[in-house]
Amino acid sequence: MSIQVAAHGFELTAALKEACEAETKDKLHAIALNNITTKWTLSIQREEQISHLIWSDGTFNGNVTVKSSDMYNSIHQCAKKALEQMKKSHEKKQNHKGSKLVHAIPVNVND
């Protein structure tokens, strides 16, 4: 599992880095099918705290951006949305395989 955390426009604190790592380990790693990699980018624009996450789980990947007035809330919501994306991707894979049709042939057995 690879977790990268970067900050733009401010100095990255240990607490913010730990928050990103915890969200990845607690939420995303738990349902990952393969070795998950995440790249978090945290930034500030005026009063908005922005969290951007790019994730990859084998052949599945996605990205999420969340803006809010609190960076920890942005991180939490970002992980939550990524979790929804991962679940949806995994469901699509399961549904894409389809189900094997079983054809039953009625047989009359006369005793």
Q: What's the confidence (pLDDT) of residue 104? A: 56
For residue 101, pLDDT beyond 60: no
Structural domain boundaries in the chain:
2-97
| Predicted local distance difference test score (pLDDT) of residue 107 | 66
The pLDDT tens digits for 10-51 are 999 999 999 999 999 988 888 888 788 999 999 999 899 999
CA distances (Å), 110 to each of 104, 105, 106, 107, in order? 19, 16, 13, 10
Average pLDDT, integer, range 76-101: 78
What does each C-alpha distance from 11 to 5, 22, 44, 49 come to in angstroms? 12, 19, 11, 13
For residue 57, which of 20, 16, 88, 103 has the smallest C-alpha distance? 88
What predicted TM-score, i.e. pTM, was given to this entire model?
0.77
Q: The domain 2-97: what is its CATH number?
A: 3.30.160.100
